[in-house]
A and B are shown apart, each in its own frame.
Chain A
């Protein structure tokens, strides 16, 4: 009877517990979703998007990823918003991303977690590698140019150039800093439009840093259009090393070939090669401080793993062979316990490098400042390296600057 009573009580408690746990789990999930959404509030449109909207899935990723992946998911939205001509939306999202990039990470708990042995590097809020940050500044600068705000465009290009300087104290053989030619070239174009005497200085720097010197020609007098041509898919990240603790890059598929631009069938401009190449930028940055931390985690993981296995093996041998000796038996059991703890610590150590990456990212970058007649024009980009042609119709209002961004991936 007593047994039946206890069983009934246990069943009742289990039912109450399961129900409470279910409700609590649901509440926790709702609170978590609300918290993640609040973290990316600056990125979100003023009104909810329809599920039929082409950007809806990207916003869904953004709200699911929260602040940790906001820059990653925000970039996907911004790039697609630009492609669809939704410029204000792209500006809002890019501005939110720039706040993240320009903010201070000092004291950031997520960054501290990423450095700890028991969390992966990807625990930190994604900011991207310098070449990825440069792309964000590049797109924002182009949107400022499109609005005719050449001062803020220039500011964005300068900030973009600065992210590449972070390897200033790298070993001499790794010092390729400050060579984002597209930033120098576009800053030069902004200076020309502003009547700033430093334009030529910037253009000269662009020619010096360009992957092909002739890819940064003197802009034609009275240019009223800037056509930016992104060719190929940029570098991809992968993990190398015993535990995936090393960040490596696979080269992008940019062909680095000549691109000829024709307008309404007339040859307008030609670049024998790209102004810049993102694979080059990704692979010449020099070492990161976090690489040393990840290496340390990997060494710790190996060390604790080896020590754990050795301790368990020694302890087992002692227990098996010295069962008559109490002291040795105790030591053996102690070694087994310590070995298991060390093995557990080793298993919990996470040296994995962060390979989250923004998409889409180009490999080769070309910039063509040209003059278009008012009205509609057809621009044809003949990408010799990829053996294809991309066409874009452009309506020029006659005054102001037109910015055309074309992807060939």
Chain B
């Protein structure tokens, strides 16, 4: 009886050991990188400016610009130049993102109702023009460098509060089109986003 019990126990031990071997060879934990919707809040996102805010704000501004009479009823497509967005919040950000997305939305959705001047590439354009005029490269016809009818710019302004009861951040996004001749603001719109969060007690 005792011998049988001993052998049985040995087999149980062997089974447990081999089970451990089998289990340890599999992948453990972790989530591989995956594509997610940029208009959805990120996992673990704080109260700062996230991709969700960027998408929401720029969508709203692009729609609003397209419906403004100066753009919608212009006889010739107005030319827009970008001015840097001013970041007056407590969040270091890549401020170019907002203007770039608004420009891309307008260019892809407005069907040629507005043009943008590529001032950020002006040196390359000037060099190419020189090459054409010197006859070193072919030319499809000469033209003047386009001047801007409007400047598109924006400002991000923040109001932040923190206490051990939580943290809140309010950001006001204002964008405007400025007449490049008269300095009159022909269009302005805004969006405001407030976020509140409470840290885990381990950090308070």
Interface extent on A, as a size class? 35 or more
Say whether, besides A151-B86, A155-B89, A166 and B163 are in contact (CB < 8 Å): yes
Known A13-B17, A24-B20, A31-B28: A111·B6 in contact at CB below 8 Å: no
Q: Is A144 an interface residue (CB 8 A)?
A: yes
For the residues of A in contact with B, the DSSP-based class is helix
Interface flag for B174 (CB, 8 Å): no
Question: A168 touching B162 by the CB < 8 A rule?
Answer: yes
Tell whether, in the assembled complex, residue B90 and residue A158 are in contact, meaning their CB atoms are under 8 Å apart.
Answer: yes
- In the bound complex, do residue A151 and residue B88 qualify as a contact, i.e. CB atoms below 8 Å apart? yes
- Judging by beta carbons under 8 Å apart, are B200 and A111 in contact? yes
Q: Does B14 sit within 8 A of A, measured CB to CB?
A: yes
**Closest partner residue, chain B, to A25 (CB atom):** B24
- B13 within 8 Å of A (CB atoms): yes
Contact A104 B29 (CB under 8 A): no
Q: What are the residues of chain B within 8 A of A106 when measuring CB–CB?
A: 197-200
Binds A, one of B59-67, B91-99, B119-127: B91-99
Which listed segment binds A: B43-51, B69-77, B130-138?
Answer: B43-51
Does B153 have its Cβ within 8 Å of any Cβ on chain A? no
Query: Is residue B40 contacting chain A, with contact meaning CB distance below 8 A?
Result: no
Distance in angstroms between the alpha carbons of A108 and B66 in the assembled complex: 43
Q: Which residues of B contact A35 (CB under 8 A)?
A: 28-30
B200 with A21: CB separation less than 8 A: no
A332 to B28, CA, bound (A): 46
Size range of the chain B interface in the assembly: 35 or more
Kindly state whether residue A17 has any CB partner on chain B within 8 Å.
yes
Residue in A10, A98, A167 whose beta carbon sits within 8 Å of that of B92 in the complex: A98
Asked if B21 contacts A155 (CB within 8 A), the reply is no
- Residues on A with C-beta less than 8 A from B204 are 166, 288-290
Q: Is the CB of B87 within 8 A of A155?
A: yes
The smallest beta-carbon distance between A193 and chain B, in angstroms, is 14
CA–CA, A158 and B160, complex, Å: 9
Residue A90 is within 8 A (CB to CB) of chain B in the complex: no
* Binary interface encoding of chain A residues 154-189 relative to chain B, with 1 for a CB under 8 A from any of its CBs, else 0: 111011001101111110000000000000000000
Q: Report yes or no: A168 in contact with B163, Cβ–Cβ below 8 A.
A: yes
Cβ-based interface call for B25 (8 A): yes
Q: Mark B1-40, 1 if CB is under 8 A from A, else 0.
A: 0010011001001100110110011011110000000000
Given contacts A10-B10, A13-B17, A166-B164, contact A155 B24 (CB under 8 A): no
Contact B199 A151 (CB under 8 A): no
**A105 contact from B7, B91, B203, Cβ within 8 A:** B203
**Residue B201 lies at the interface, judged by CB distance under 8 Å to chain A:** yes
Q: Other than A151-B88, A155-B92, give 4 A-B pairs with Cβ distance below 8 A.
A: A17-B13, A152-B95, A162-B162, A165-B163
18 contacts between A and B (CB under 8 A): A6-B6, A6-B7, A9-B10, A21-B17, A24-B25, A25-B24, A104-B44, A108-B200, A115-B201, A151-B86, A155-B90, A162-B162, A165-B163, A166-B163, A167-B164, A168-B165, A169-B163, A289-B164
